[in-house]
Each structure stands twice: as C-alpha cells, then as structure tokens.
Amino acid sequence: GLGISKLLSETGYVTLDPGFVNTASCASAVTYIDGDAGILRYRGYPIEELAEKSSFLEVSYLLINGELPTPEQLSAFSEQIQGETLLHERFRSFFAGFPSSAHPMAVSSSAVNALATYHPDTLDPFDPAQVERATALLMAKLPTIAAYAYKTAQGQPLLYPDSSLGYVENFMRMTFGLPTGAYEVDPEVVKILDMLFILHADHEQNCSTSTVRMVGSSNANLYSSVSAGINALWGPLHGGANQAVLEMLEKIHADGGDVASFVNKVKNKEDGVKLMGFGHRVYRNYDPRAAVVKKATRKVLDTLGVSDPLLDLAMQLEEVALADDYFVQRKLYPNVDFYTGVIYKALGFPVNAFTVLFAIGRLPGWIAQWREMINDPATKIGRPRQVYVGSPERHYPA
Ligand code: ACO
C-alpha cells in the first residue's frame, strides 16, 4: 500500500480517485465494515450486540481505548466526564451572540472550536495527559453546547448541567427542562437515545472522520479537528441527511402523500431530487444500523403514544423503492438517517437539531480516530496530489 504510493510518486505517477472511492488514507483498528454483507463492528464487536447490551459511554470508552472497560474503569470514565459538563460562566454569553435563527450545527462547531480558548493547557497532541483531558472535556461539554444552542434558539434560559444525572438524561434535561419546574424523562426514551448515539459512534473513514484526521494531520489540536468534523457532518449528503429526510417526508406529506410519483421524480432525476436517507458509499446491502433504527422507531412511537403519518410514509417509500429496478440495480438501501428523524421528532427535537444529535453520537469515533492517527508512526500530513488541467503558461498583458 504505502510502498506502492511512494514508488508511484517517485516515478512521477499519481492516482486520480475523486471522492477516494478506492483509496485508503490510513490503516485503522477502530471499526470494521463489510459493505456487501452489511456488517459493522466497533473494535470487533458487532453493532447489534453493542446496541442491545451496552451503553453510549461504555462504547465511547471501547472506541477510544480499544477494549471494553471494567466496571471500575467505566465509573471512573463516567465520573470524569460528568464532572466537566459545566461551561465557563463567560462562555455562556457566547450563545447570546448568535441570532435565534442560527443553525445549531454552526453554533456547535463554533463553540467546540472556542473550547480551545478556555483550555489552552490541553492543546498539545503529543502530550498524552493533555489529550486525555481534552477527550473528557469534549465528551462532557458537547451535550451542554448542543442544549444551549437549542435553548438560545427557543429564547429560554440556559440550565446548568446536573452531574448527578446520566449522560443522556442530563442532556435531555438541559434541552427540554425549565428552571420553573422539575423535569422527568421516561427511562425508555433515555435508553433509545443512548442506543441511537451508540449506532452513530463510529463509521471508519467517512467524510467527517476523514476531515477530523486531515485537520489533525497538520498537528492541529483536538478541538479544531472535531470542530471541522462537525462542519463536514452538516452537509446533507452526510449527517445533514437526517434533517433532509424529515423535510422530504414533510414535503411529500404536504403534497398529498403520493409516494409513487415522488419515487418517479427521483428515478427521472428531476431537478436532482434524491431519495434522502438512501444509498451509501460502502454499504451495498442493507445498512445494519438502519435495521436497528427501524425497529426502534415503532417502539418509540408506541412508548410515547405518538402516531406520526411520516413513519407510514417512510415505510411506504422504502417498500416501493426496494421493489424498484432503479434502486435494486444501484444497490440503494435505507441508511442510518432514513428513520432517525422520525424518532428525534417524536422526542421533541426541532428538525434543525437532528444533525447535532448525530454529532454527539459520532464524537467518540472522531476522538478515537484522531488519537489513532496521532499515535501512528505512519501518519503524514494529509496532502493529496492533483492532475492539473488548467491553462498552460501565458503572460499578463503588457
Ligand atoms: N437517491 C437516488 N439516486 C441515488 C441515491 C439516492 N439517495 N444515492 C445514489 N443514487 C444513484 C446515483 O444518482 C447514481 O446513479 P447513476 O449511476 O445513474 O448516476 C448511483 O446511485 C450511484 O450513486 P453515487 O452518487 O455514485 O454514490 P456515492 O457513493 O458517491 O454517494 C451517497 C453516496 C452520498 C450517500 C448517496 O447515496 C446520496 O446522496 N444519498 C442521499 C443522501 C444521504 O442519505 N446521505 C447519508 C449517507 S449515510 C451518512 O452519512 C450517515
């Protein structure tokens, strides 16, 4: 691999591979995907087992450290994170500087980058103690940042975190609680959001993770690298697809719910319309995460006693698409984002907050991959080559 690329560049050859469809950028021991078989494993553990039996913090520890924690290691890790959820008092005013229409992804990535200003003694990528602390600070503070982005948009007061609560419960309370009353969240809801975070926790060299590694390859600090990852995730072809799916379902619903005519539009590529939440670069078989989410969606709506016509619409779309040659030939199946939006909506999150939930889930994966890169002696600064197709030399008019 690396030997061949060195040989090629020394002989003046470069490979042209737009979108890195067939080019590996690194060797990694974090996540395994077999796209043809629909298999996803974190550090060797099948995603289905982790989703059913583990917790988000345990999975985060696994991704970051390579092994499942002992009970003592897990409680030390959780305490370290829960003890850091508070933002600096002055940092709270940062949120007031944005208009209430601000997209929470823009607020979150800015706030994550700004964390570096409050923790200048945690910026050295080559000091393991600093990296350990930056890891805990990011894991602890991103949910607080996400909740404050929401609160600011709602014009509601920011709540202090409650470190006696679990990771997800604390986030839900900071998001939906009010200082004027007690907030209680159904443990079933907490469990489901925790499971969704597990399903999003890593996905090897996707667009945002590759961005985190690329930025970090210049030895930029962890906060800047993760902040860049949040921006990459925002795009509708990546994490932003969860927002795009719900907007698509709402539009089909508002137009009378004609699934067949929407699918025809997609097949005819009218105005570039895509079936959002379908397709994946690596999976050419059902996305194993989507299978788990689909099951959970029904359960959430039942638990909350909500009925949502958008779920029926999504299921109809899936049924029509999976029986259609266009999608079959191109091996297009629902991806993780196809059903998550229906759950997030049922939990009360506004559509533009969906991708922030993805970011909270993906954070341990970004951190694990960044740390793997920093510790890998084979790492070099990310610097792709190009094939120049512009003008030959010409001269500025005299
Ligand atoms: N709807 C309709 N057609 C599609 C879709 C879709 N969602 N996805 C791919 N296709 C078609 C393409 O138009 C292309 O057709 P063609 O051969 O006639 O030109 C063919 O399938 C192959 O697609 P590519 O664009 O080459 O696939 P690529 O691997 O580059 O893109 C991607 C993958 C970006 C995920 C794409 O499938 C897509 O845009 N999906 C919709 C957005 C989405 O759901 N993104 C979330 C991905 S998962 C995640 O990030 C969490």
For 34-50, give the DSSP string: ETTTTEEEETTEEHHHH
Atom nearest to 358 CA in ligand 1 = 51
CA–CA distance, 131 with 146 (Å, rounded to integer): 22
Q: Can you give the pLDDT at residue 14?
A: 87
Atom nearest to 330 CA in ligand 1 = 21
Read off the pLDDT of each residue in 314-327 and give the average, rounded to a whole number.
94
Read off the pLDDT of each residue in 82-106 and give the average, rounded to a whole number.
95
The response to whether residue 265 sits with its C-beta less than 6 Å from ligand 1 reads: no
The response to whether residue 333 sits with its C-beta less than 6 Å from ligand 1 reads: no
The response to whether residue 359 sits with its C-beta less than 6 Å from ligand 1 reads: no
Q: Which of 142-151, 182-191, 193-202 has the lowest mean pLDDT?
A: 182-191
CB 134 within 8 Å of CB 221: yes
pLDDT by residue (tens digit) across 198-239?
A: 999 999 999 999 999 999 999 999 999 999 999 999 999 999
pLDDT at 334 over 90: yes
Atom nearest to 266 CA in ligand 1 = 2
pLDDT at 197 over 90: yes
CB 92 within 8 Å of CB 145: no
Angle at alpha carbon of residue 274, lines to 107 and 266, rounded to 5°: 155
Give the residue from 250, 245, 235, 275 showing the smallest Cα distance to 338: 245
For the sheet with 31-34, list strands across it: 31-34, 39-42, 45-46
Instruction: Categorize the per-residue pLDDT at 8 as very low, low, confident or very high, splitting at 50, 70 and 90.
Output: confident
Name beta bridge partners: 40.
33
Count of residues for the chain?
398
CB 362 within 8 Å of CB 208: yes
CB 103 within 8 Å of CB 127: no
Q: Which of 12-16, 127-131, 218-222 has the lowest mean pLDDT?
A: 12-16
Percentage of the chain beyond pLDDT 70 is: 98
Question: What's the half-sphere exposure (Cβ side, CA atoms, 13 Å) at 78?
Answer: 19
pLDDT by residue (tens digit) across 282-317?
A: 998 889 999 999 989 988 888 889 888 998 899 999
Cβ-based burial of 96 (10 A; exposed 0-12, middle 13-18, buried ≥19) = exposed
Give SS3 for 68.
coil
Tell me what ipTM this predicted complex has. Answer: 0.96
Give catalytic status of residue 280 as yes or no. yes
- Whose alpha carbon is nearest atom 35 of ligand 1? 280
Instruction: Categorize the per-residue pLDDT at 2 as very low, low, confident or very high, splitting at 50, 70 and 90.
Output: low
Written in H, E and C, the secondary structure of 197-264 is HHHHCCCCCCHHHHHHHHHHCCCCCHHHHHHHHHHHHHCCCCCCHHHHHHHHHHHHHHCCCCHHHHHH
Give the residue from 369, 78, 66 showing the smallest Cα distance to 207: 369
